Structure 1
Amino acid sequence: MGGGGQPPMMGSGAMPGMAGMQMMHAMTDRTFLTMMIPHHESAIRMSRAILKTTRDPQVKAWATAIVAEQQREITQMQGLLKGLGGPATGMDAGMMTMEGMMPASGPRSTNPDVAFVQEMIPHHGMAVMMATHLLMQTTNPVMQKLGRDIITAQTDEIYAFQQFLNTVR
């Protein structure tokens, strides 16, 4: 320990205290929320688009559920984000819209229902990765539950989507 009971200096600054640690975790929470809201909005747009054309009852059920669940989560995340001071700043437009962050995938089906499911798998996969990162960083129990809920719901849907694709290929 340094003089006066202070923690030793590390690098160019002092070790963060409790307030600093809380601020670092809040920034992680803010960043997650700032990025996840447009990510969910993208899934809602994709789902609303397929709802206009699909005749497949399973695809219709999935798209309807995605719209309802992710809109509910957006509302929750907007409230949480407001409590954290609003969206994180300094993020470029590509980051905010998740452009370029989707994993590369193979050719898409010409069947719109199958293409929707094929597109939702990597989309959900990205949300799972983001939520997993959140769980590794946050100490906020509300954010931990949100991250776990996203992981659970979207991995369950990825599994169901894969099973669907196994039957239509």
Structure 2
Amino acid sequence: MKKTILPILLCLLLAACSDNSSRTEETSTTTDTLVAQSAQTAPTDIPGAMKSSMDKMTSELKSYQPSGDPDHDFASIMRIHHQGAVEMMQAYLPGAKDEMLKTMTQNGISKQQSEIGELGTFLNGHQPGTQKSSYGKDAAQMVTDMMVMETTPQDLDKAFATMMAPHHESAVHISQMFLNHGKDEKLKAMAKKIASEQQKETDELKKWLQEHP
């Protein structure tokens, strides 16, 4: 009886080992597949993704219908402008190599997201006035004109600096323009802050580009 049971137990043990081995192989294969799929879906054209963010912003500004109220138009246009910058910086950051540009990007995302919130709060509680100012039309047109680019460098850091310099510069111009038209004191204070900060960063970006031909 014992002689009969022993071979049966041995067969069961071998079958269990074989099943565990198959499961291990299946798990390993599944893991390898997920890793491969992740690599395939990871962004490979970050400069292209940044350019797409800018194109999306300019498209929204081209279709923007000015209210004629400078306060309302500044808040609306700057919110679109900031959102384009945030999306571009978020696309750039994972592959950023230059430490100065990386720090500028990290700080920029934080500051501009905060200002997007402030602009949204203003717009939610503000009804456009009856003014017939051309500020909104002129500001939107200025940004779209300044963001026209025929080519984009494939080097990631150069692509970022090349696109962000005119983007910041356009923010400076439309903020300065707004100071001559706006009435809301909080918005005017924000415009002064944006003009000052982004002029400084524009100068830094242009200097960086000169040093990295």
Write the mapping of 1:99-114 to structure 2, written as runs, cut at 5 A: 100-105=144-149, 107-114=151-158
Superposition deviation, residue 163 in structure 1 = 1.2
Counterpart CA distance in 1 for 2:212 and 2:150 is 16
Say which structure is richer in helix. Answer: 2
Specify which of 108, 111, 116 is matched with residue 69 of structure 1: 111
Residue identity opposite 2:169 in structure 1:
G
Does residue 152 of the first structure (1) align with residue 196 of the second (2)?
A: yes
| Alignment-derived partner of residue 182 in structure 2 | 138
Q: Secondary structure at the match of 2:152?
A: coil
Q: Deviations over 1:17-48 (max 9, x none)?
A: xxxxxxxxx92100111111111000001101
1:101 and 1:41 map into 2 onto residues whose CA distance is 18
Which consecutive aligned stretches of 4+ in structure 1 deviate over 6 angstroms post-superposition?
none
Larger radius of gyration: 2
TM-score (norm 2): 0.58
> Structure 2: how far apart are the matches of 1:156 and 1:100?
21
1:2-151 matches, cutoff 5 A? 27-85=69-127, 100-105=144-149, 107-151=151-195
Pairwise CA RMSD: 2.2
- Identical amino acids, percent of aligned pairs: 24
Structure 2: gaps (5+ residues): 1-67, 129-138
Q: Distance in 2 between matches of 1:55 and 1:67?
A: 17
Q: Aligned with 2:97: secondary structure? A: coil
CA–CA distance in structure 2, aligned partners of residues 102 and 150 of structure 1 = 17
Superposition deviation, residue 66 in structure 1? 1.1
- Deviation at 1:54? 1.1
Change (3 A) 1:147 1:99: closer
Unaligned ranges ≥5, structure 1: 1-25, 87-94
Report the TM-score, using the length of structure 1 for normalisation. Answer: 0.72
